[in-house]
């Protein structure tokens, strides 16, 4: 039986496509330019500086920071909440796009999943940095100590420990599983020590139909499991605040408000990462303007959602008119924190609304500008949730101010360098775009060829 020519895939072009994809996406692994070493040196220097600052804080004591009564949470917890929020870029977005089988997800998912893993690692460090005696951080782990004193499982801080670790383990596996076939490609294309290392990481992957089925089933289950975990993580981070009787913290809206903010900042981080990768790794053939446009639309939706939550939070507080809450309300609206507050509103709402709402501006450059605004705005949002409330509680004896000290500024700032360093190193050693998913997306669906039957035992050849 003959088939229409248009439905028969051209084998030569398929092989050529596969080889082009291999060549383009493995290039960063095989070729190293001076820019890589420069980036590693610059970002590594930033991380080293932060490490020295942290060691200095541990040696000289917590007094070197600006954190003192009544504002016990400052830059460190702001950065903790911010980075956990950024982590929602990857696994959550990737899982949703996988479940709805969005074809345009293919070049985007791994870029996003990597952000999750590294942002979680960075975010999870902050509670430890925030400790006066960081070497006692292991007290959070539920282990049978000598006197059988267990961590209090009713504390939101212990919930954080469980939620973040579950999300981290899930996200690492969610990143690693679809990487296995690509590690096998790198194994096949390398020699010597690299061949042995990638061979070990590829876990003996061969690409049998059974392996593909199992991998895809596992990714489906993981995607379903990881979405509620991701939502729970930032809800639980919001419980760190909403479980405490502090003005403007104890509100039921904090859970969804934090989750929406996390996804919002995560999408912004993803857009920036994609633009940088596209530019520096020359991935123009894979990360198309349509990817930015689609994510830009998502950014616009999240900006509107963020505005909706802020409006809700503010209006309910305003109508409640409780003096301690109104004091914090006015501090942020028109007193000492007003400049930061209105900068946040412009960055998180006005800027994305204009740049992503008007189609002409929804370009790669427009997306990047809006995303930088959102990242700044979301950091400010975390800061404005924490400091104004802690500095102005119920009675005048607990009023106070917070002035961040150099050690805090260095450590908080260097986490951006840490993120970029980890990202650069990852892109150097692992294909940053999923090779096999891209190949699967670029192949023309073929006509289902039937198996041999009793009537045609030798297939179509009739030997």
| Residue tagged 């003996």 (tokens) | 204
**Interface pick for another protein out of 37, 139, 212, 399 (rule CB under 8 A):** 212
Query: Which tokens belong to 183?
Result: 């590690």
**Interface pick for another protein out of 28, 46, 123, 181 (rule CB under 8 A):** 181
Rounded distance between C-alpha atoms, residue 328 and residue 298, angstroms: 32
Q: Where are the alpha helices (DSSP H) in 321-394?
A: 323-333, 338-345, 351-357, 364-390
Least distance in Å: CB of 214 to another protein?
A: 4
User: Is residue 290 part of the contact set for another protein (CB under 8 A)?
Assistant: no
Interacting positions 218-277 with another protein (CB under 8 A): 218, 221-222, 225-226, 228-229, 232, 236
Identify the H or E element spanning 83: helix 75-86
**Interface pick for another protein out of 31, 208, 252, 321 (rule CB under 8 A):** 208
**Interface pick for another protein out of 67, 93, 121, 185 (rule CB under 8 A):** 185
Radius of gyration of the chain (CA): 25
**Interface pick for another protein out of 137, 180, 305, 345 (rule CB under 8 A):** 180
User: Is residue 284 part of the contact set for another protein (CB under 8 A)?
Assistant: no
Q: Which of 171, 379, 346 is nearest to 265 (CA)?
A: 379
Query: Which tokens belong to 287?
Result: 């990360």
In angstroms, what CA-CA distances link 282 with 177, 270, 278, 391?
26, 17, 5, 48
What lies within 8 Å, CB to CB, of 374 at 6+ separation is 264, 265, 267, 268, 299, 303, 347, 348, 351, 352
User: Is residue 107 part of the contact set for another protein (CB under 8 A)?
Assistant: no
**Interface pick for another protein out of 41, 48, 72, 188 (rule CB under 8 A):** 188
Least distance in Å: CB of 271 to another protein?
A: 27
Of 63 and 228, CB closest to another protein: 228
Least distance in Å: CB of 181 to another protein?
A: 7
Of 193 and 458, CB closest to another protein: 458
Of 339 and 449, CB closest to another protein: 449
**Interface pick for another protein out of 4, 135, 193, 206 (rule CB under 8 A):** 206
Q: Three-state DSSP class for 248?
A: coil
Of 29 and 367, CB closest to another protein: 29
User: Is residue 450 part of the contact set for another protein (CB under 8 A)?
Assistant: yes
Query: Does residue 356 contact residue 279 with C-beta atoms inside 8 Å?
Result: no
Q: Which stretch binds another protein (CB under 8 A): 48-56, 201-209, 288-296, 338-346?
A: 201-209
Of 53 and 163, CB closest to another protein: 163
Of 176 and 280, CB closest to another protein: 176
User: Is residue 458 part of the contact set for another protein (CB under 8 A)?
Assistant: yes
Burial class (CB in 10 A: 0-12, 13-18, 19+), 351: buried
| Residue tagged 């297939």 (tokens) | 459
Interacting positions 407-446 with another protein (CB under 8 A): 436-437, 439-440, 443, 445-446
Query: Which tokens belong to 342?
Result: 């209105």
Interacting positions 18-77 with another protein (CB under 8 A): 18-19, 22
Of 204 and 406, CB closest to another protein: 204
Query: Which tokens belong to 326?
Result: 């109104």
Query: Does residue 373 contact residue 394 with C-beta atoms inside 8 Å?
Result: no
User: Is residue 151 part of the contact set for another protein (CB under 8 A)?
Assistant: yes
Query: Does residue 434 contact residue 110 with C-beta atoms inside 8 Å?
Result: yes
User: Is residue 158 part of the contact set for another protein (CB under 8 A)?
Assistant: yes
Least distance in Å: CB of 49 to another protein?
A: 35
Of 239 and 264, CB closest to another protein: 239
Of 210 and 360, CB closest to another protein: 210
Query: Does residue 434 contact residue 178 with C-beta atoms inside 8 Å?
Result: yes
Interacting positions 118-147 with another protein (CB under 8 A): 142
**Interface pick for another protein out of 99, 354, 409, 452 (rule CB under 8 A):** 452
The DSSP secondary structure of 121-177, one letter per residue, reads: HHHHHHHHHTSSSGGGGGGGS----TT-PPP-TTSHHHHHHHHHHHHHHHHHHHHHG
């Amino acid at each position: 039986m003959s088939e229409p020519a248009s439905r028969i895939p051209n084998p030569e072009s398929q092989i050529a496509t596969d080889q082009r994809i291999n060549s383009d996406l493995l290039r960063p692994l095989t070729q190293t330019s001076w820019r890589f070493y420069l980036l590693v040196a610059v970002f590594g220097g930033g991380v080293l500086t932060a490490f020295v600052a942290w060691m200095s804080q541990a040696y000289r004591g917590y007094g070197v920071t600006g954190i003192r009564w009544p504002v016990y949470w400052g830059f460190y917890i702001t950065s903790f909440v911010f980075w956990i929020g950024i982590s929602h870029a990857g696994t959550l977005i990737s899982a949703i796009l996988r479940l709805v089988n969005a074809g345009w997800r293919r070049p985007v998912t791994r870029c996003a999943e990597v952000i999750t893993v590294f942002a979680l690692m960075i975010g999870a460090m902050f509670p430890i940095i925030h400790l006066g005696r960081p070497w006692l951080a292991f007290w959070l782990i539920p282990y049978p100590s000598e006197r059988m004193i267990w961590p209090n499982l009713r504390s939101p801080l212990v919930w954080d420990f469980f939620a973040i670790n579950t999300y981290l383990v899930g996200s690492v596996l969610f990143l690693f599983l679809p990487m296995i076939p690509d590690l096998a490609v790198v194994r096949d294309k390398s020699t010597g020590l690299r061949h042995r290392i990638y061979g070990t990481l590829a876990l003996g992957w061969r690409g049998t139909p059974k392996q593909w089925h199992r991998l895809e089933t596992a990714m489906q289950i993981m995607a379903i499991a990881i979405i509620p975990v991701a939502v729970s993580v930032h809800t639980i981070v919001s419980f760190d605040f909403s479980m405490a009787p502090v003005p403007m913290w104890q509100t039921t809206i904090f859970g969804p408000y934090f989750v929406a903010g996390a996804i919002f900042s995560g999408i912004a981080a993803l857009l920036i990462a994609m633009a940088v990768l596209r530019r520096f790794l020359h991935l123009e053939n894979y990360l198309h303007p349509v990817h930015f446009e689609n994510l830009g639309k998502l950014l616009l939706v999240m900006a509107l959602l963020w505005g909706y939550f802020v409006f809700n939070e503010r209006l309910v507080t305003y109508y409640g008119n409780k003096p301690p809450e109104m004091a914090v309300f006015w501090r942020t609206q028109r007193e000492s924190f007003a400049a930061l507050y209105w900068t946040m509103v412009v960055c998180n709402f006005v800027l994305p609304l204009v740049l992503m709402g008007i189609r002409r501006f929804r370009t790669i450059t427009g997306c990047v500008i809006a995303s930088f605004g959102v990242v700044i705005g979301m950091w400010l949002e975390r800061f404005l949730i924490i400091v104004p409330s802690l500095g102005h509680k119920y009675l005048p004896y607990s009023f106070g101010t917070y002035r961040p000290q150099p050690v805090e500024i260095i450590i908080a700032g260097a986490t951006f360098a840490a993120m970029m360093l980890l990202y650069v190193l990852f892109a150097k050693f692992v294909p940053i775009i999923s090779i096999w998913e891209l190949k699967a997306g670029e192949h023309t669906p073929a006509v289902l060829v039937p198996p041999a039957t009793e009537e045609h035992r030798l297939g179509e050849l009739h030997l």
